[in-house]
Chain A
């Protein structure tokens, strides 16, 4: 099969897959239906303060797997739904930020800076439209970069990297993520080390389950889902509940402001915000392609760079950034949305998930089986390589989600203001129980709930100590792969103890791993 055949097969796998129902004589495939459902669910979740895409992904995964089963035909519907959630929640997060000055997701904090002033000036509708337009533009740009770069990068990786280099690459990625994500490189390193330690409990090659203290629950290691969801979801639910507990009074009354103007986005408006969107989309995509650096940094940089540009260019009667400038919303939303697509570049081309959304795609693929995100996917073989078809199917679901986003996403998003009325002190405990139940149904053992509680407590403590949970999670997800690749590389080189320095590429990766740690620590030291 040629590349074109594969792309076509991917598109067809999505559109012509098993049929869900017929709409006006046109059959709608299950995968398309799932993308649509995920997209709308994502908007709702994003617009609900306290929830977010991570929680939504954690809870939907076991339900989706129960619906579709453990076989390769489940991959596209399940991952399609997840892609929908990712895209939808990115857009939805702007709603409470603009309308109520409460960011629905951490990335939307910058959106409040200009979004809420616009609402107070009576331009809420316009602010929402600007946010939506910028978000979708950034997202689309980022996806296009993903489609182009992921396959080419993967082919390079497969061609030039042998087992020792692959080992070194994982070490480089981990050290990069550890020191770059949080404010303190040392804490990031500690989080990564903890993640590695816990994933090595009970695993290993020997028949004795190492470090398991003879506990049967640890004999096959700590389930990745329990640890990841514990740290990310349970930890953040505890943290949010604690904030409410401290405040005691639940979110004050919402005072509506009277709205003026037609609230529409005119061609002149688009022309005014376009340069900001372009700038931020490039920044967001570049940042997204690096593992570990999240959309929050992208939003900050996008806003800062847009702000500098705005000071030079703005007309005298236009508001400044922070005073209700729509360019500010555009700069932020385009930047944080354009991270999403590019974020999948490392996971699809290197097999290294760089952020939480990618972690969940890996979990889904891992649970269902039949698809290993990584460079091996992009092998254009003469006989059909089913994983490659899935990869192009995944790209197709992203395109579908984008089309939805362009067409109906904005309308739906603007109805989501009501989500803020849900009382968090009840919602979050319900989500907590839902999380426990969803872990249990995946691997029916009370130990799953125990693990989730343990890692939830750990996640909570990490949040409170200013340690980013991301290095922990990514180290946990990559830990087994790191060990097995190292073992394989060692055996493959006939037991060469210096296999990590056996070629110039491996040496370069290892040097990079050390350099990034040293440089980051020195720069942080200089800045304090």
Chain B
């Protein structure tokens, strides 16, 4: 019964895709392994699994999701690197993995040239967040409190963000106690439990901000946050860096062009369609899809890799 159903769905999906998408011109030679660099159950993982589901339904491809977590996506990148480049192996990472983390993980021997960028799916709504009852309304209040003698604990979930938090403090004459944790949920929990005063959150704060329990003190992006457009960006505080970042699908280097085009356009279509479960979820959790593909994606990834060294060196001072 389910097989029949699947076959029908698959046929319909193929018919729909044939009308215009390049996806129909390409059929994977076997099941596609989708490496997910995020812990099971979080928003990022859910996004990947929903995309996989929809790819199967639309195109009849067989997708096998596999979790390879740890070391800021480096483990997943290592797992993908030597897979065949015929479109039967892809991975979902964050751009930070291909940038800062690859520079920092010297021992891994990885660089963005080991991979083929397919498409981004969404960006982060990265803010610097505190509890509303802390009394802060903007990052400037935090600096003021710190200068008044308060010890400020700043939660971060990656080395790049730790560097950023350090530079943000230094440029404003403040010495934060930077607390590194695993994952955005841990920062949220830490701030809620009072173990941290402020922290970076990449979208997970949305419900709390909407309810008035949390407040975005600043946008850590180059642009204002969708949810709190009035929160200042970091350049207002004399910081030249930001925490821009995206979820990105990649394949191994020198990927078969037909496969790369088919997969990236298939994913782009799904995430841009808010009618799909994946698209709807991305809209809700990450403030809408952001599709960057092709040459634009390559230059984004390369810029991230080359720019990473600068922040790293600056934070080492």
Are A and B in contact, CB atoms below 8 Å, in the complex?
yes
Other-chain contact of A492, B45, B46, B179 (Cβ < 8 Å): B179
Interface set, chain B 58-82, CB cutoff 8 A to A: 64, 66-72, 74-75, 78-79
Judging by beta carbons under 8 Å apart, are B107 and A208 in contact? yes
Judging by beta carbons under 8 Å apart, are A493 and B70 in contact? no
| Interface residue? A163 (CB, 8 A) | yes
Which residue of chain A has its CB nearest to the CB of B188? A376
Interface-facing stretch out of A111-119, A334-342, A362-370, A517-525: A362-370
Other-chain contact of A207, B39, B107, B211 (Cβ < 8 Å): B107
Judging by beta carbons under 8 Å apart, are A383 and B208 in contact? yes
Judging by beta carbons under 8 Å apart, are B153 and A492 in contact? yes
| Interface residue? B40 (CB, 8 A) | yes
Judging by beta carbons under 8 Å apart, are A493 and B177 in contact? yes
Judging by beta carbons under 8 Å apart, are B45 and A70 in contact? yes
| Interface residue? A25 (CB, 8 A) | no
| Interface residue? A209 (CB, 8 A) | yes
Other-chain contact of B182, A162, A208, A444, A484 (Cβ < 8 Å): A484
Interface set, chain B 17-49, CB cutoff 8 A to A: 39-42, 45-46, 49
Judging by beta carbons under 8 Å apart, are B68 and A494 in contact? no
Q: Mark A202-231, 1 if CB is under 8 A from B, else 0.
A: 110101110000001001110000000000
Other-chain contact of B40, A369, A444, A491 (Cβ < 8 Å): A369
Q: How far is the CA of A205 from the CA of B180 in the complex (A)?
A: 9
| Interface residue? B193 (CB, 8 A) | yes
Contacting residues, chain A, for B189 (C-beta < 8 A): 372, 376
Main secondary structure of the interface of A (DSSP, over half): loop
| Interface residue? A260 (CB, 8 A) | no
Contacting residues, chain A, for B104 (C-beta < 8 A): 207
Nearest Cβ on chain A to B131's Cβ, whole angstroms:
11
Other-chain contact of B41, A158, A369, A443, A494 (Cβ < 8 Å): A369
Q: How far is the CA of A278 from the CA of B106 in the complex (A)?
A: 64
Nearest Cβ on chain A to B97's Cβ, whole angstroms:
11
Q: How far is the CA of A216 from the CA of B77 in the complex (A)?
A: 12
Judging by beta carbons under 8 Å apart, are B195 and A163 in contact? yes
Judging by beta carbons under 8 Å apart, are A494 and B46 in contact? no
Judging by beta carbons under 8 Å apart, are A207 and B101 in contact? yes
Residue of B41, B104, B211 with most partner-chain A CB within 10 A = B41
Other-chain contact of A209, B71, B193, B196 (Cβ < 8 Å): B71
| Interface residue? A323 (CB, 8 A) | no
| Interface residue? A310 (CB, 8 A) | no
Nearest Cβ on chain B to A208's Cβ, whole angstroms:
5
Judging by beta carbons under 8 Å apart, are A158 and B101 in contact? no
| Interface residue? A16 (CB, 8 A) | no
Interface set, chain A 484-504, CB cutoff 8 A to B: 484, 487-488, 491-494
Other-chain contact of B66, A70, A158, A205, A444 (Cβ < 8 Å): A444
Q: How far is the CA of A484 from the CA of B186 in the complex (A)?
A: 11
| Interface residue? A255 (CB, 8 A) | no
Q: Decide yes or no: A70 and B181 within 8 Å by CB, A219-B70, A379-B192 being known contacts.
A: no
Contacting residues, chain A, for B79 (C-beta < 8 A): 216
Counted as pairs of residues, one from A and one from B, with CB atoms less than 8 Å apart, the total is: 90
Judging by beta carbons under 8 Å apart, are A491 and B107 in contact? no
Number of interface residues of B (CB under 8 A): 45
Q: How far is the CA of A443 from the CA of B68 in the complex (A)?
A: 9
Q: How far is the CA of A376 from the CA of B195 in the complex (A)?
A: 11
Other-chain contact of B179, A70, A368, A491 (Cβ < 8 Å): A491
| Interface residue? A407 (CB, 8 A) | no
Which residue of chain B has its CB nearest to the CB of A372? B189
Contacting residues, chain A, for B150 (C-beta < 8 A): none
| Interface residue? B108 (CB, 8 A) | yes
Nearest Cβ on chain B to A485's Cβ, whole angstroms:
9
| Interface residue? B105 (CB, 8 A) | yes
Other-chain contact of B177, A162, A443, A491 (Cβ < 8 Å): A491
Judging by beta carbons under 8 Å apart, are B105 and A207 in contact? yes
| Interface residue? A382 (CB, 8 A) | yes
Q: Decide yes or no: A70 and B41 within 8 Å by CB, A220-B71, A383-B211, A383-B213 being known contacts.
A: yes
Q: How far is the CA of A383 from the CA of B108 in the complex (A)?
A: 44
Q: How far is the CA of A494 from the CA of B104 in the complex (A)?
A: 24
Q: Decide yes or no: A162 and B40 within 8 Å by CB, A219-B71, A221-B70, A372-B189 being known contacts.
A: no
Q: How far is the CA of A493 from the CA of B211 in the complex (A)?
A: 31
| Interface residue? A381 (CB, 8 A) | yes
Interface set, chain B 208-226, CB cutoff 8 A to A: 208, 211, 213
Q: Decide yes or no: A376 and B193 within 8 Å by CB, A71-B46, A207-B108 being known contacts.
A: yes
Q: Mark B165-200, 1 if CB is under 8 A from A, else 0.
A: 000000000000111111001000110111110000
Q: How far is the CA of A42 from the CA of B39 in the complex (A)?
A: 30
Which residue of chain B has its CB nearest to the CB of A496? B177
Contacting residues, chain B, for A208 (C-beta < 8 A): 105, 107
Nearest Cβ on chain A to B185's Cβ, whole angstroms:
8
Q: How far is the CA of A40 from the CA of B185 in the complex (A)?
A: 36
Judging by beta carbons under 8 Å apart, are A369 and B208 in contact? no
Other-chain contact of A220, B69, B208, B213 (Cβ < 8 Å): B69
Which residue of chain B has its CB nearest to the CB of A387? B189
Other-chain contact of B195, A203, A383, A488 (Cβ < 8 Å): A488
| Interface residue? B151 (CB, 8 A) | yes
| Interface residue? B254 (CB, 8 A) | no
Nearest Cβ on chain A to B77's Cβ, whole angstroms:
11
Contacting residues, chain B, for A203 (C-beta < 8 A): 70
Judging by beta carbons under 8 Å apart, are A220 and B177 in contact? no
| Interface residue? B113 (CB, 8 A) | no
Contacting residues, chain B, for A163 (C-beta < 8 A): 195
Judging by beta carbons under 8 Å apart, are B75 and A219 in contact? yes
Which residue of chain A has its CB nearest to the CB of B67? A443
What are 5 of the A-B contact pairs (CB < 8 Å)?
A: A220-B71, A367-B40, A369-B40, A383-B207, A492-B196
Interface residues of chain B, those whose CB is within 8 Å of chain A, are: 39-42, 45-46, 49, 64, 66-72, 74-75, 78-79, 101, 104-108, 151, 153, 177-182, 185, 189-190, 192-196, 207-208, 211, 213
Apart from A70-B46, A488-B180, 12 more pairs, CB < 8 Å: A71-B46, A207-B71, A207-B106, A219-B75, A369-B39, A376-B193, A383-B211, A444-B64, A488-B190, A491-B179, A492-B177, A493-B177
Interface residues of chain A, those whose CB is within 8 Å of chain B, are: 69-72, 158, 162-163, 202-203, 205, 207-209, 216, 219-221, 367-370, 372, 375-376, 379, 381-383, 443-444, 484, 487-488, 491-494
**Which 5 pairs from chain A and chain B are nearest by CB?**
A369-B41, A220-B70, A207-B105, A383-B211, A70-B40
